[in-house]
A and B are shown apart, each in its own frame.
Chain A
């Protein structure tokens, strides 16, 4: 084999591997890959039971034809989750003014269900004006937490101040229980548009 042939093969093979592992140069990061995969595959989410801030129980997937927006939080979060709470508050207000209001639920799900008792959840709701109707704050059972985060592809790591850092985003689950879109937490307008597209 001469050098030219060998080099060509290496370049082709190398490019192919890089193309393949980056989904055609579209996703260089894990978060990018997660969003791309969700939009392509639309995986069905586990239908776990959540305890809402009022103590009621609700299922993650709702059978009455709602589209569900899920955001992961922990209420003792000093920064990001509070900012995200502000965005969801705006999203709630936008939805209230539109015809889709009967068909959309927003759930902030705590991934710290041991510390986030019902009081903490209600306090977080009060701070951000979650009305409990369109938008509620909820926590999963401890035993469901791991599989829930895995299904969504959310990675939670402890930070240096006793809190957590996580890939925060708005996860939109369609009427068939499939995770269909992942949007930046601050993309309120994008979320409204996506919801209106999903609910003609």
Chain B
């Protein structure tokens, strides 16, 4: 399918870009965490084709693949993992492999099969987690990563905060835009007596 070929091409382009822009993106934690890692997640996302979306009984409800993604996210959320990626080549290679293949790819597969309530739960979890991380990174009295400066750490904290706000807006916008829920919510917030 031509569509898959384009996706594959795009994935390899982004992946190559991430490799060559390593130095620039990894100079600051903000661009390392909130630009490079999301781009690598996109790479995995683009690798998913129709066949992978129907994985079979073991991934019922998308739980197995979502769990893989969540544990891998937890691993790369550890400040010491990020430090290690900067100081050790093996960890850097591990990052470039696991972020696309164990976060982006399974997230897309699992998401497609997840129940709407589970999706809502995960979205709420993501926003609140980003909020907590924002608070920690903005207010921590110590340097959380030994590889980065304290003001760069605060920049990342604000990055988390704005990402949380952006996701909250993005994910609640459909309530006001979709045909089924639009009128209900508009009435709720902007009541008219008609």
Partner-B contacts on A (CB < 8 A): 1-3, 5-7, 10-11, 13-15, 17-18, 21-22, 27-33, 155, 157, 159-160, 165, 167
Q: SS class of chain A's interface: helix, strand, loop or mixed?
A: helix
> Is B84 at the interface (CB under 8 A from chain A)?
yes
Contacts A155-B147, A167-B143; is A30 near B60 (CB within 8 Å)? no
Nearest-CB distance from A141 to chain B (Å)? 24
Residues in B whose Cβ lies below 8 Å from that of A11: 67
> Is B149 at the interface (CB under 8 A from chain A)?
yes
Partner of A21, one of B63, B67, B78, B150: B78
Residues in B whose Cβ lies below 8 Å from that of A27: 80
Nearest-CB distance from B125 to chain A (Å)? 16
Residues in B whose Cβ lies below 8 Å from that of A2: 57-58
Scoring B residues 94 to 107 as 1 if CB is less than 8 Å from chain A, else 0, what string do you get?
00000000000000
> In chain B between 66 and 108, which residues have their CB closer than 8 angstroms to a CB of chain A?
67-68, 70-71, 74-75, 78-81, 83-84, 87
Partner of B79, one of A13, A29, A155, A160: A29
CB–CB B57/A3 < 8 A: yes
Residues in B whose Cβ lies below 8 Å from that of A21: 75, 78, 80-81
Residues in A whose Cβ lies below 8 Å from that of B150: 165
> In chain B between 8 and 55, which residues have their CB closer than 8 angstroms to a CB of chain A?
none
CB–CB A18/B74 < 8 A: yes
CB–CB A29/B144 < 8 A: yes
> Is B168 at the interface (CB under 8 A from chain A)?
no
Residues in B whose Cβ lies below 8 Å from that of A155: 87, 146-147
* Alpha-carbon gap, A20 to B151, bound state (A): 30
> Is B163 at the interface (CB under 8 A from chain A)?
no
Contacts A155-B146, A155-B147, A157-B147; is A7 near B79 (CB within 8 Å)? no
CB–CB A30/B58 < 8 A: no
Residues in B whose Cβ lies below 8 Å from that of A159: 149
Question: Which B residue's beta carbon lies closest to that of A11?
Answer: B67
CB–CB B67/A7 < 8 A: yes
* Alpha-carbon gap, A105 to B150, bound state (A): 31
Scoring B residues 144 to 165 as 1 if CB is less than 8 Å from chain A, else 0, what string do you get?
1111111100000000000000
Ordered by A's residue number, 5 sampled pairs between the chains whose C-beta atoms are within 8 Å are A3-B61, A27-B80, A30-B147, A155-B87, A160-B151
> Is B114 at the interface (CB under 8 A from chain A)?
no
Question: Which A residue's beta carbon lies closest to that of B142?
Answer: A31
CB–CB A18/B57 < 8 A: no
Contacts A10-B67, A29-B80, A30-B80; is A3 near B59 (CB within 8 Å)? yes
Question: Which A residue's beta carbon lies closest to that of B71?
Answer: A14
Residues in A whose Cβ lies below 8 Å from that of B87: 155
> Is B64 at the interface (CB under 8 A from chain A)?
yes
Nearest-CB distance from B177 to chain A (Å)? 34
Other than the known A15-B71, A155-B87, what 11 A-B pairs have Cβ atoms closer than 8 Å? A3-B59, A3-B61, A6-B58, A7-B64, A17-B75, A22-B80, A29-B79, A31-B146, A32-B80, A155-B146, A155-B147
